[in-house]
Structure 1
């Protein structure tokens, strides 16, 4: 069967994350500049291969001071580590529409395996004749696994920034 290439449609995709702040509220952020691609056998996404690259300098949380801190050596150290990348090692069907996506995430100069949940939304043609495929990807990582260890203690106990980062990713691909 012929290999099919899929490119992300960035205008209909988003790479988001949430981190607990002060142990009781979530701060949301996203990456504004990224690329993603998939490779499938025909239009069948079973065992598909995925690759992703995000520009660390495009991070936004809606607060310029916080964004600046995230780009600094305390967190992402964007000057020395300007990209985060993901390369899949497996895309396994659990049941109709639900998959497990495993792969290697490189962030802050460290590469570690991650396992994410993927919901396949389906394939459809848009009004201009383009074949599109949609995915919702979720998961959790511990930022300390990638050397992102900055924190501050709270006088009430606990810490300012959670170690757990929740990922919320929406990807729409265009068949090439």
Structure 2
């Protein structure tokens, strides 16, 4: 019998990190996102559905001007590509503490395979009787592979925004009755 899990948005976060001028890292996050997982019982290794979406318009880097630029056609083009999606197709237990999540990431209408590193935090019952599962998910991607190609160079020849984007997600799922 299938077990359904939904994201607990108040105990989850979806972040990205990118080098600025190749000397500091800027952190951004999405305020609105969703994740649905379907498993057999509490075993995530046999997940039959892993579907994630993030609302591009909810992007935040704690700078309104930069956020507006990220939503513009120079980057995510939120008006024409309102969501980022990930569809997992394999939750692979490599070792006792190592899990790889394989799937397809779609950004700005471009879909590419990606493998994410997953740390399974465990399953607990909270004080309200809800069964919850926790995960830390990490990954890296090339923004240019997803047509996020805006680029600038300083007068001294420094790249303004790196190509590599680091992903860091803290995910808490709630088992559905």
Per-residue CA deviations over 1:111-162 (Å, capped at 9, x if unaligned) read: 1111110000000000000000000000100000000000101222231000
In structure 1, list runs of 5 or more residues that go unmatched. none
Q: C-alpha separation between the residues in 1 aligned to 2:115 and 2:149?
A: 21
Q: C-alpha separation between the residues in 2 aligned to 1:136 and 1:50?
A: 15
**Corresponding residue for 2:169?**
169
Decide which moves more: 53-62 or 154-163: 154-163
Other structure's SS at 1:46 match: helix
Other structure's SS at 1:149 match: coil
Q: Give structure 1 regions of 4+ aligned residues with deviation exceeding 6 angstroms.
A: none
Count of equivalent residues: 175
**Corresponding residue for 1:30?**
29
CA contact (8 A) 1:97 1:121 kept: no
**Corresponding residue for 1:58?**
58
Question: Where does 1:10-159 land on structure 2 (aligned, <5 Å)?
Answer: 10-48=9-47, 49-159=49-159
Is residue 2:30 matched to residue 1:9?
no
More strand by share: 1
TM-score normalised per structure 2: 0.97
RMSD across aligned positions (CA): 0.8
Other structure's SS at 1:95 match: coil
CA contact (8 A) 1:31 1:54 kept: yes
TM-score normalised per structure 1: 0.97
Q: C-alpha separation between the residues in 2 aligned to 1:137 and 1:169?
A: 5
Other structure's SS at 1:103 match: strand
Q: C-alpha separation between the residues in 2 aligned to 1:99 and 1:39?
A: 17
Other structure's SS at 1:157 match: coil
Q: C-alpha separation between the residues in 1 aligned to 2:23 and 2:140?
A: 17
Q: C-alpha separation between the residues in 1 aligned to 2:156 and 2:3?
A: 54
